[in-house]
Amino acid sequence: MFCRIGIVFLLFACSSFTLCNMVMIGSAHAVQGNTEGVEQNGSAKIYGKVTEVLESAGYTYAEVDTGSEKVWAATATTTTKVGDMIAFTTEMPMRDFHSKSMNRDFPLLYFVSEFIADQSVQSVQSVTSAEQRSPHSMSKKDATAAPITGIDKVKNGNTIAEVYADQEKLDGQVIRVRGQVTKYTANVMGKNWLHIKDSSTQEDLTITSNDAATLDSVVVIEGKLALDKDFGYGYVYPLIVQDASVTTE
């Protein structure tokens, strides 16, 4: 038993980061208390854009920009390049890892089984690029668009024009709005995304929801308004309604 613990410790301390290291990941969890720098986390996932790639001792190291921070992960040699959007799980973080082969310190490095070309990451881009010219203009009007006729204000609610006019006061508040669905994308980052318009303005309103909707349907949405919401990857929504209920009329 003592020998086994010693081998596991040596493998994780080894900066050459050999293939045997990945084989021993399960054992490292079992002796976590004796493996300095290794943490056992629940399963979560990090998404982002690859900003730097290093190859060393049979492994690919990737720096990933999540939009709010940059983190490093490593996996067995794989085809990954700068600019790729990837995801990886976070069960195996190692703190203060030193690589002798690269003579480089990593304050935090995730050991992962693979880099995932994750559909959710790609969908974040598609929602933005397919709908707007700029990722920062998700809630800005199209100069050629016009208000939709016949979409009146819902009882005890707001028009879209009122939401924009009173956005500072309504920030963080639950609002109700009636509108016609002009854009709809399902299952992006675990949510359905829709845009609605009404007869009060050329502006549209962006909503995230667990409820489904159909294009051109008239709906009443009810959810919390948020301003300057940053989802990472450079995608900032000046105004968005989050986790809304969607009722089709």
Residue ranges of domains in the chain: 2-119, 134-139+147-248
Which pLDDT score is estimated for 92? 79
Query: What's this model's pTM, rounded to 2 decimal places?
Result: 0.49
CATH architecture of 134-139+147-248: Beta Barrel (2.40)
d(CA 214, CA 38): 47
Residue 63 pLDDT more than 60? yes
Nearest to 18 by CA among 74, 58, 77, 55: 58
How confident is the model at residue 72, as a pLDDT? Answer: 94
Q: Do domains 2-119 and 134-139+147-248 have the same CATH topology?
A: yes
What confidence tens digit (pLDDT) does each residue in 204-245 have? 999 999 999 999 999 999 999 999 887 664 567 889 999 999
Residue 78 pLDDT greater than 60, yes or no: yes
> Do 154 and 177 form a contact (C-beta atoms < 8 A)?
yes
Q: Residue 87: what pLDDT?
A: 86
pLDDT at 186: 82
Q: In the CATH scheme, what is the code of domain 2-119? A: 2.40.50.140
Average pLDDT, the chain: 75
The span from the CA of 119 to the CA of 51, in Å, is 19
